[in-house]
Amino acid sequence: MSIRRRGSAAAGRTTRSLSAVVLACLALSGCGVAAEPAADPPRAMAKADLGMQPDATTFADFPAAPKDSAPKAGTDGVVLHVLDDLAVHQSPGGQVFAKLPAKQLNNPTWVPIVAERGKWAQVLLPSRPNGATGWVRTDGKVERARSPYVVNVDVDARHLEVRKNGSVIGQWTAGVGSADSPTPRGRTYLMAAIEETVTKFSPIILPMGIHSDTYNTYGGGPGTVAFHTWPDPSVFGKAASDGCVRVPSDALRLLTSLPLGTLVHLR
């Protein structure tokens, strides 16, 4: 089934006053085979115990998180909507190392599934390091849906395309990171949408679940990479950003209409 509109980037965005979260997001925009699950389901983690786990957000870093074993591969488009704090495991039934909160940058949390084992799903996390994943249970606290869209960015060719059910529905020349601050590669996803109210260089910022390999922090933020437009069209086709992908206004409008959790390939 298709993701309901409330899960789209357009529906997820929020007009916000100048705050630490907005500043963090805007500042950055200048620019496997797992073990078999246990036969018996693990003991449900008590709410208090889960509350002690760090949030898996764009501000977090989990160096020991399972690595995405196929960063160039596609998926079947299935995504999970996290309804409440959700335990993130090292493997099906394995140790808990984080929790996925229901919100990311004040947007609902939708994450793509990259593998499944029974009632367990391996999902891409929005945290460092790039390619971080975790295993979550799918029999509670989540809703399943499917995004028919995929966003492809050819970093070297500076080309952006959006596909729906395999067919190209839009393509543009884009701007990418400079040689000193290149756009990272790998598969990620549309994490959030934020209405820009500070600098006005792009009406909407679309942070992805991936970070700059150059900047550990950027302007007080965590160095999250995003899609956004730019007032000077001469930047499109150039490698001149601090890692973000700069796109024309009509491309941004289409990207903003896509469901959160939609897969993005940065190649």
Q: What is the set of active-site residues?
A: 228, 244
- The answer to whether 31 and 210 have CB atoms below 8 angstroms apart is no
In whole angstroms, what is the distance from residue 257 CA to residue 243 CA?
Answer: 23
In whole angstroms, what is the distance from residue 112 CA to residue 57 CA?
Answer: 14
Q: 127: closest CA among 78, 224, 61?
A: 61
Helix (H) / strand (E) containing 82: strand 78-82
Q: 113: closest CA among 74, 59, 83?
A: 74
Amino acid found at 265: H
Q: Which residues contact 101 (CB under 8 A, 6 or more apart)?
A: 55, 56, 57, 82, 85, 109
How many secondary structure helices (H) and strands (E) does the chain include?
4, 21
- The answer to whether 175 and 231 have CB atoms below 8 angstroms apart is no
In whole angstroms, what is the distance from residue 97 CA to residue 53 CA?
Answer: 7
